[in-house]
Structure 1
Amino acid sequence: MEISDLRVALFSGNYNYVRDGANQALNRLSGYLLNQGAKVRIYSPKSKTPAFPSIGKVVGVPAIPFPGRGEYRVPLGIPWWVQRDLKEFGANMFHISSPEFLGHRAVTLARRWDIPVVASVHTRFETYFRYYNMAFLEPFVEAMIRRLYRRCDAIFAPSESMAQVLREQRMSYDVGIWSRGVETEIFSPAKRDMAWRRSIGIADDEPLICFIGRVVMEKGLDVFAESMDALHRRGVKARVVVIGEGPAREWFTTRLGEDAIFIGFQRGEDLARAIASSDMLLNPSVTETFGNVTLEAMACGLPVVAARATGSLSLVEDNVTGRLIRPGASESFALALQYYCQDLEARTAAGAAGRAVSERYSWDAVNHALVEGYLRIIRHREMGGHPINRPR
């Protein structure tokens, strides 16, 4: 089988409702498949006002708003008319992108129709409950996710560190890597703009620490704020720029105080300019499986101070491209930030090392690796092989 023979049915819980790293990766995958002559169709709740233009045809599935988070949707299943569309499309590979109800139903359908099915892992959903005082649910959620992934032919992690976590959690016997890419011609140190910094009230000699991403509690907003408090107690006069939007913005604005500048959601050249015009990235989150924003910051020549967690472990080399800090250790985060705030030479060296690492990641290369995984699984099935996650 060749790439052009692939007919991929991609299942997503909110494909074009939210412009996050996961959905943009899926959109790029769809574009790569189409450019290679393959066919792809996306099955997802469909927005009348999509957050970004979709590449590939999107077939809507019924859904309801997620309670308290209206920007997300809860799919209600795969009704008969969607199943008919799947049959007419002639999918020979199912790909689920999140462990929610639509993903479970797609895996059940794939097994019934004897179609190979894979899952890509984009975030550590089981860890979200820590941020909402429901950590007791984590083992239950992990068990539910394991049941889903063990029914797939294979799962794909975005980094080796996340793949190792999945192996330790016994999520699958076949764990591949589907990394993430970055457009180094857009995200570049050359996009640094001192005039733009001045326009938002940052002096040339003021260290600027950036937060990038959805402004939600599970991104470690509490640790970020505590780290900035600890930095200020050390007498370091640094400023914060928050690049992104989200339901916790009001809380974050109040918590960070007047030293923080919120510039909202940015994209493309504007996003690259904002990142490159900062001096370092602080990423205390433990929920990422890769860290798209970390890679973008490295491409822009910024040192990264990140939690020693999945994703960052595979991108950040401690004391070379930044610092890896024990999750939640706000004093240690502050000490690392102080070092880069006060040592321009170290900051420049770490940024240059990060830029060199980012140049290894191209979207075509990482998407090709996933497609090779598709073909391997299909050939294994055609030769009479059985998915190793399932009993014969």
Structure 2
Amino acid sequence: MPHALASDGLLIDHFPAAQRSLRIAFVSETYPPEVNGVATTVARIVQGMHARHHEVQLIRPRQDRLDAAARQARYDEVLLRSLPIPRYPDLRMGVPSKRALVQLWSRRRPDVVHIATEGALGWSALQAALHLKLPVCSDFRTNFHAYSTHYGLGWLRKPIMGYLRKFHNRCACTMVPTDALRRELQADGFQKLTVVSRGVDTELFHPSRRSAALRESWGLNEQDLLVGYVGRLAQEKNLGTLLTAFEALRRDMPRALLLLVGDGPMRAELQARCPDALFAGQRRGEDLAAHYASVDLFLFPSLTETFGNVTTEAMASGLPLVAFDHAAAAQLVHSGHNGLLAAAGDVDAFVAASRLLAGDAEQRQRLGRAAFATAQALGWDGVLARFEGVLHGVITAAERSAEAEFGGLARPAA
């Protein structure tokens, strides 16, 4: 099989077009109808692997009332015990389940186990896969170690990072969405990293979804400025900077309105600080796409993303955006061409960029058109092919290792 080894000597980067169908056990602690970037991305990859004729077994926590509406007969779903997540009543987390997974995979061995999240269920899956000598790879999708500083628990950063490093270094490889994150984690002692980016649904998220009726329902005409944010309403999203920027630009444009799409524990606090903001709650599908496209300026102040799907969704919707030079924005936004970037953590620069675009409709339109053009090259086909190729590389490496071990054992003594 033609291949090229990565710097760690393990991962295979180039593959022939035709590859064998795989049995993939995909483990995730979040999945739609939960609304978050990890759930959305995991679902797209699971469905994409199924569409590419692989046998997918999805293992996730039971979501009780959500499951009846969510489950469809597309692939095998294994629902395991779960517990509610504090402060997020609609979300649940997995519990230790090694024994159940060992039994499950002993009856029918997958070719590879892929773990999307590092919680109790993910750790159980890792232990079960290692116990059964199954090839296993993982995703690094959430900066849990960075979240600790936003909840007065900065002292937890080192132990959390230690756990994550131990988790991922026991996998055959860990997929990360950007090269910047790969370098950052490598400096922290993470090994066997490979970049698999993320795509965006350019048919769903599109400027044509803009809705005059929706804007009218908010009391806006086409000349009024609507500033948008999409994401969890939580401390780790740096929403204080969002409000600071909006309050500054509103002094220049008193009729401007702020739309927040999403929910979370900070909602009441944000409503108290900005009582006339539009709180749309969680939105999905075409409704979410219409909310994006009906915005005039998108602000995304988060500094804790591993990628930030909302960045690409906003760009595909044709929105000019202001973000920090971080995660997906650092990779995709060329400041002054298809958006504006502020240096990571520079609140004054973020506020200044927001005021600049708020007051310049012509520049907003120019940046929005360029953002849309950038997003058109971010479809899912290439991402799925890359993901599929990495799985094949992990399996091939495991097979060669097993052959070498077996060969050594089988060789007669001299």
TM-score, normalized by length of structure 2? 0.87
Q: Using the alignment, how far apart are the partners of 1:14 and 1:288 within structure 2?
A: 16
3-state SS of paired residue (1:146): helix
Q: Using the alignment, how far apart are the partners of 2:360 and 2:45 within structure 1?
A: 40
| Aligned partner (choices 165, 176, 184) of residue 194 of structure 2 | 176
3-state SS of paired residue (1:156): strand
Q: Using the alignment, how far apart are the partners of 1:144 and 1:366 within structure 2?
A: 28
Which residue pairs with 2:117 in the alignment?
A: 98
Q: Using the alignment, how far apart are the partners of 2:359 and 2:205 within structure 1?
A: 25
* Residue 127 of structure 1, CA deviation: 0.9
Q: Using the alignment, how far apart are the partners of 1:75 and 1:246 within structure 2?
A: 20
Structure 2: runs of 5 or more not aligned: 2-17, 404-414
Q: Please give the per-residue CA displacement for 1:85-109, whole angstroms capped at 9, x wherever unaligned.
A: 2222321211111122222222222
Q: Which is worse superposed, 66-75 or 125-134? A: 66-75
3-state SS of paired residue (2:274): helix
Structure 2 residue 282 is matched with structure 1 residue 265 = yes
Structure 2 residue 332 is matched with structure 1 residue 299 = no
Which residue pairs with 1:242 in the alignment?
A: 260
Which residue pairs with 2:49 in the alignment?
A: 33
Which residue pairs with 2:234 in the alignment?
A: 216
Q: Which is worse superposed, 123-132 or 174-183? A: 174-183
* Residue 22 of structure 1, CA deviation: 0.9
Q: Using the alignment, how far apart are the partners of 1:81 and 1:99 within structure 2?
A: 18
* Residue 385 of structure 1, CA deviation: 7.5
Q: Is the CA contact (8 Å cut-off) linking 1:4 and 1:36 kept in structure 2?
A: no
Q: Please give the per-residue CA displacement for 1:21-40, whole angstroms capped at 9, x wherever unaligned.
A: 21121112111222222111
Which residue pairs with 1:389 in the alignment?
A: none
Give matches, 1:348-363, under 5 Å: 348-363=365-380
| Aligned partner (choices 339, 352, 356) of residue 322 of structure 1 | 339
Alpha carbon RMSD of aligned pairs, Å?
2.1
* Residue 128 of structure 1, CA deviation: 0.8
Which residue pairs with 2:40 in the alignment?
A: 24
Q: Which is worse superposed, 34-43 or 52-61? A: 52-61
Give matches, 1:44-59, under 5 Å: 44-50=60-66, 53-54=70-71, 56-59=75-78
Amino-acid identity (%): 29
* Residue 279 of structure 1, CA deviation: 0.9
* Residue 47 of structure 1, CA deviation: 1.2
Q: Over alpha carbons, which structure has the higher Rg? A: 2
Which residue pairs with 2:245 in the alignment?
A: 227
Which residue identity lines up with residue 198 of structure 1 in the other structure? E
3-state SS of paired residue (2:200): coil
Q: Is the CA contact (8 Å cut-off) linking 2:117 and 2:139 kept in structure 1?
A: yes
Q: Using the alignment, how far apart are the partners of 2:234 and 2:243 within structure 1?
A: 13
* Residue 160 of structure 1, CA deviation: 2.1
* Residue 175 of structure 1, CA deviation: 1.5
| Aligned partner (choices 154, 157, 176) of residue 138 of structure 1 | 157
Structure 2 residue 180 is matched with structure 1 residue 161 = yes
Distance 1:156 1:264, change over 3 A: same
Q: Is the CA contact (8 Å cut-off) linking 1:128 and 1:287 kept in structure 2?
A: yes
| Aligned partner (choices 27, 35, 47) of residue 11 of structure 1 | 27
Structure 2 residue 98 is matched with structure 1 residue 83 = no
Q: Which is worse superposed, 132-141 or 12-21? A: 12-21
Q: Which is worse superposed, 355-364 or 48-57? A: 48-57
Q: Is the CA contact (8 Å cut-off) linking 2:116 and 2:139 kept in structure 1?
A: yes
Distance 1:150 1:80, change over 3 A: closer
* Residue 328 of structure 1, CA deviation: 4.0
Q: Please give the per-residue CA displacement for 1:141-199, whole angstroms capped at 9, x wherever unaligned.
A: 11111111111100001122222222222212x22222222121221112222332122
Which residue pairs with 2:406 in the alignment?
A: none
* Residue 122 of structure 1, CA deviation: 1.5
Which residue identity lines up with residue 61 of structure 1 in the other structure? L
3-state SS of paired residue (2:66): coil
* Residue 256 of structure 1, CA deviation: 1.9
Q: Is the CA contact (8 Å cut-off) linking 1:61 and 1:77 kept in structure 2?
A: no
Q: Is the CA contact (8 Å cut-off) linking 1:17 and 1:46 kept in structure 2?
A: no
Which residue pairs with 2:171 in the alignment?
A: 152
Structure 1: runs of 5 or more not aligned: 387-392
Q: Is the CA contact (8 Å cut-off) linking 1:320 and 1:353 kept in structure 2?
A: yes
Which residue identity lines up with residue 348 of structure 2 in the other structure? E
